[in-house]
Amino acid sequence: MKNIVVIGAGTMGNGIAHTFAQSGFSVNLVDVSQEALDKGLKTITTNLDRIIAKGNLTEEKKAETLSNITTYTQLKDAVTNADLIVEAATENQDLKLKIFAQMDEFAPENCILATNTSSISITKIAAATKRADKVIGMHFMNPVPIMKLVEIIKGYSTSKETFDSIYEMSKTLGKVPVEVNDYPGFVANRILMPMINESIETLYNGVAGVEEIDTVMKLGMAHPMGPLQLADFIGLDVCLAILNVMYDGFKNPKYAPNPLLVNMVMAGKLGVKSGEGFYDYFESKKAEKVAKMFSK
């Protein structure tokens, strides 16, 4: 596989495109918005400069990486010669099903269709296509160029050939692939999201404050980032969407999102992306100031 298409130029999409391009693949980055594409390329350039500053990349390699990326606003034009398409659009089931139906229609017959979904059923996504054996999950972690893990999720009909191909390709990206079966939340979010939700529950019940909860988890459990800060980093809307998928999938009340999380998302307090969540990010992105709502 040489020709990769990445759908979505947001945080995950531009990170995935960056990773493939830096590994020598030809990448077509697709988004409906030219503005989003320009922003995505700017982010990739900035991240490459950071790697150069650390002495882990040359200017020549940066130029080569950027030259490996071509942008498109029309999916049909981008996938003509695709060997693999990685969908990294918003974590919305209806949108993903629509995109996969289009991918299936326009992509070459032998092209593998992958999704970066963090919770939605691969089997359900595959059902929107006529090539369920070639549909698979590639759940990268954020930030993609740095994080080593990729969950490789098999749908009900994913073929061994497809799985083996994506598993081995992930290694060429410098990643560590882990085989996972198709259940809501997979492994990463099935464990992570209940922890985040319970942290919000702890705050909601007045057991401790934002900084106190995060400090306990950082110093007591050796987490590099507290769960409330991590929720802000992921995006509270994304956390809510994942919890809803898990709750709908398992019908188990332990996955029901806390009312505080629901209200914050409705109020537009989404974390880093909106400037405020459990912390205030208007002056610093380092979670140095607790949001006014939660400050003492």
Mean pLDDT for the stretch of residues 70-77: 97
The pLDDT tens digits for 219-252 are: 999 999 999 999 999 999 999 999 999 999 999 9
Tens of pLDDT, residues 11-32? 999 999 999 999 999 999 999 9
Candidates 3, 116, 118, 244; catalytic one: 118
pLDDT in tens, 91-145: 899 999 999 999 999 999 999 999 999 999 999 999 999 999 999 999 999 999 9
Task: With H, G, I as helix, E, B as strand and everything else as coil, classify residue 110.
Answer: coil
- Phi, psi torsion values for 113, nearest 5 degrees: -110, 115
Looking at residue 248, what is its pLDDT? 95
- Strand 176-181, strand 69-72: pairing: unpaired
Query: What are the C-alpha distances in Å from 1 to residues 5, 29, 138, 167?
Result: 11, 16, 15, 13
Rounded Cα–Cα distance for residues 85 and 138 (Å)? 11
pLDDT in tens, 150-199: 999 999 999 999 999 999 999 999 999 999 999 999 999 999 999 999 99
Give the pLDDT band (50/70/90) at residue 296.
Answer: confident
Given a cut of 80, whether residue 270 has pLDDT beyond it is yes
Q: Considering 18, 91, 139, 244, which one is annotated as catalytic?
A: 139
Q: Could you report the per-residue pLDDT of 187-213, keeping only the tens digit for each?
A: 999 999 999 999 999 999 999 999 999
- Residue 186's nearest CA partner among 92, 116, 130 is 116
Catalytic residue among 47, 189, 199, 244: 189
139 labelled catalytic: yes
Burial (0-12, 13-18, 19+ Cβ within 10 Å), 185: buried
Average model confidence (pLDDT) for the chain?
97
> For residues 232 and 277, is the Cβ–Cβ distance under 8 A?
yes
Q: What is the pTM of this model?
A: 0.92
Distance in angstroms between the alpha carbons of the first and the last residue of the chain: 55
Closest CA to 229 of 268, 282, 277: 277
CA dist 47 → 36, 68, 118, 183 (Å): 16, 16, 23, 33
Known active-site residue 189: yes
Catalytic-labelled residue, pool 91, 116, 119, 151: 151
Q: Rounded CA gap, 262 and 84, in Å? A: 36
Question: What integer pLDDT is reported at residue 277 of this predicted model?
Answer: 98
The answer to whether 199 is a known catalytic residue is no
Tally the C-alpha atoms within 13 A of residue 111's C-alpha that lie toward its C-beta: 27
Q: Decide if 151 is catalytic.
A: yes
Calpha distance 161→169 (Å, rounded):
12
